[in-house]
Amino acid sequence: MLSQEKNDLLTKVGADQPMGQLLRRYWMPIAAVSEFKDKPIRPVRLMGEDLVLYKDKSGVFGLVERKCAHRRADLAYGFVEEHGLRCNYHGWKYDQTGRCTEAPYEDAAAPLARLRDKVALKAYPVEVKAGMIWAYLGPQPAPLVPDWEPFSWANGFCQIVMAEVPCNWFQCQENSIDPVHFEWMHTNWSRRQKGDETNGPKHLKVDFADFEHGLIYRRIRDDTTDAHPMWTVGRVCLWPNGFFLGDHFEWRVPIDDETTLSVAWIFSRVPNEQEPFIQESIPAWRGPVQDPQTGDWISSHVMNQDFVAWVGQGAVADRTREHLGASDRGIAMLRRQFFNDLEKVAGGQDPKGVIRDPQFNQRVTLPIAERDLLINGLPADRLAQHPVFGKHLKNFVFQAGQPPEVLAAYRAAMGLEIA
């Protein structure tokens, strides 16, 4: 249980809030590169700030405030040019640093006044990594976008899957250090939804540990022993807002205090017969969270089930009224670490896990329970029999709404018949 004051500290992400300042010390994935193929501009709301992300005709990405400096028209309806973004109202043009490079009528009518030199848009740096566009809203010097090892694995079909979830980011992130929920929310609830009243394997023991890039949880169920990789290796609650499960990352990116962008980067290792597999461009899609007919939250897929839990906790979970138990030791560690880091940031220091050394930031390894399989792959027949990855071949289990063209590309990559 937390006081209201402490709950506010963990959850509020505005630029003037302690957690907002802490989170602005990290790069956030906000969109996918492939989303800009057909439409070069997209409005983005990030930690309570309204911005526009665009790709100009020379291929440069820019992230600038959404309202034009002239008379505040919406730059999400502007047009991109060779270098920069032009407002559709009176044609003022900006580059990716926010500088106004043209104000056509002013430049002609009053060239000496140089009004455009007196204005600028707020602009933030962006970088491309692993098919995603990352933004940094914090103070300079900016740290590095983490170069996690799986981003350069070979022979994988990757996809980037997003959804907008109407609740605060912190309750989403608490889910990253919560092993027991897999048993109930995924295994048992999935069975109930199919009319099966039986339960899956029970958790017997869980453990939590701190490491450089986050926390680790480990577990033993009644169908596994202490020799199982979920006990010897475990899973990673990745700092500050990620979850890493070997074959995929999930990030919970705060849109504002009551909305979160769920971003997943999912790697499917192709069978050995399909090697070498080289992916030209990583497809990206955004899925619905509600059934448009009934208004119910979608519950058919793993991440959608998580979304049901997160939104069910309320727009901002009320931690003054919870009762933590033995399964929640990881949750308590997560909060404690953030409270420590809030103090560090207030004292001018970097919080946990910020990477600044370019030598270090090369294929940074993380604990991976299935490392051998994901790197070396398996022949198709053995992959099909694998208890987890074999199921993934049959259905995309993670999130509802996968477009048919992504499914077709996946099946082609995996050497499956096109359904």
| Residue 71 makes contact with ligand FES by CB under 6 A | yes
Shortest approach of ligand FES to residue 97 CB, angstroms? 17
| Residue 122 makes contact with ligand FES by CB under 6 A | no
Q: Name which of Fe ion, ligand FES, none residue 90 binds, using a CB cut-off of 5 to 8 Å depending on partner kind.
A: ligand FES
287 close to 401: Cβ distance less than 8 angstroms: yes
11's enclosing H/E stretch is helix 4-11
Amino acid at 138: G
Near ligand FES in 72-101, by CB under 6 A: 73, 87, 89-92
Shortest approach of Fe ion to residue 235 CB, angstroms? 11
Q: Name which of Fe ion, ligand FES, none residue 371 binds, using a CB cut-off of 5 to 8 Å depending on partner kind.
A: none
Tokens of 313: 């906790």
Q: Name which of Fe ion, ligand FES, none residue 306 binds, using a CB cut-off of 5 to 8 Å depending on partner kind.
A: Fe ion
Identify which of 203, 206, 202, 224 has the alpha carbon closest to the alpha carbon of residue 215.
Answer: 206
By beta-carbon proximity to ligand FES, the closer residue of 114 and 192 is 114
Those residues with Cβ within 8 angstroms of residue 193's Cβ, 6 or more apart along the chain or in another chain: 299, 300
| Residue 105 makes contact with ligand FES by CB under 6 A | no
Looking at 66-74, 154-162, 172-180, 371-379, which segment touches ligand FES (CB under 6 A)? 66-74
CA distance 305 to 286: 16
Binds ligand FES (CB under 6 A): choice among 6, 42, 70, 186: 70
By beta-carbon proximity to ligand FES, the closer residue of 42 and 70 is 70
Stretch 263-292: interaction string toward ligand FES, x if CB under 6 A? ------------------------------
Shortest approach of Fe ion to residue 89 CB, angstroms? 45
By beta-carbon proximity to ligand FES, the closer residue of 80 and 266 is 80
DSSP letter string over 333-374? HHHHHHHHHHHHHHTT---TT----TTT-SSB----TTHHHH
Rounded to the nearest angstrom, the gap between the alpha carbon of residue 177 and the centroid of all alpha carbons in its chain is 16
**Rounded (10°) angle between helices 329-346 and 4-11:** 70
Residue that the structure tokens 């020799």 belong to: 227
Looking at 16-24, 65-73, 255-263, 318-326, which segment touches ligand FES (CB under 6 A)? 65-73
> Hey, what long-range contacts does 375-379 have (CB within 8 A, 24 or more apart)?
375/153, 375/269, 377/155, 377/269, 377/270, 377/271, 377/272, 377/275, 378/269, 378/271, 378/272, 379/271, 379/272, 379/273
For binding to Fe ion (CB under 5 A), which residues are involved?
A: 306
Question: What's the alpha-carbon Rg for the chain, to the nearest Å?
Answer: 23
| 33: DSSP letter | G
Q: Name which of ligand FES, Fe ion, none residue 54 binds, using a CB cut-off of 5 to 8 Å depending on partner kind.
A: none
By beta-carbon proximity to ligand FES, the closer residue of 89 and 184 is 89
By beta-carbon proximity to ligand FES, the closer residue of 75 and 369 is 75
| Residue 54 makes contact with ligand FES by CB under 6 A | no
Shortest approach of ligand FES to residue 235 CB, angstroms? 48
Shortest approach of ligand FES to residue 90 CB, angstroms? 3
Residue 230 burial (C-beta neighbours within 10 Å; 0-12, 13-18, 19+): middle
Near ligand FES in 189-248, by CB under 6 A: none
Helices (H), 68-213: 104-109, 169-174, 180-181, 189-193
Q: What are the residues binding ligand FES (CB under 6 A)? A: 68, 70-71, 73, 87, 89-92
